[in-house]
Amino acid sequence: DGGITQSPKYLFRKEGQNVTLSCEQNLNHDAMYWYRQDPGQGLRLIYYSQIVNDFQKGDIAEGYSVSREKKESFPLTVTSAQKNPTAFYLCASSLSAGGGIQYFGAGTRLSVL
């Protein structure tokens, strides 16, 4: 069953703690993306990766980090430098970075304790 899997579904972060959100895809897509969604707002791009071992900052990259060591995996770390991390985080992938359809995971909701 092909798709994008995000885990965990819910995550809580303590003050000063780094947390990592997982995103795995078995669609054999080259490009992967991380978005942040706040209530009443559209999605904002955090980071994207067009190919393994390469990634680019999006519009709101400060306080976040990513890696792309494997084609199928694109984990996002929310660092302690991100002062307002409470949001819904969505991972997506596309066949290539050429503006085609992006397929989304079910999301991770991050809250601060």
Q: Applying CB under 8 A, which residues contact another protein? A: 4, 6, 31, 33, 40-45, 48, 50, 56, 58, 88, 90, 92, 94, 96-107, 109
Residue closer to another protein (CB basis): 2 or 40: 40
Tokens linked to 59: 């519009």
Give residues with Cβ within 8 angstroms of 1, minimum separation 6.
none
Residue closer to another protein (CB basis): 78 or 92: 92
Contact 66, 77 (CB under 8 A): yes
Residue closer to another protein (CB basis): 45 or 52: 45
Residue closer to another protein (CB basis): 21 or 90: 90
**What secondary structure does DSSP assign to 90-113, as a single string?**
EEEEESSSSS---EE---EEEEE-
Q: Please, what is the minimum distance in Å from the beta carbon of residue 73 to another protein?
A: 17
Question: How far is 44 from 75, CA to CA, in rounded Å?
Answer: 17
Contact 50, 34 (CB under 8 A): no
Q: Please, what is the minimum distance in Å from the beta carbon of residue 44 to another protein?
A: 8
Q: Please, what is the minimum distance in Å from the beta carbon of residue 15 to another protein?
A: 25
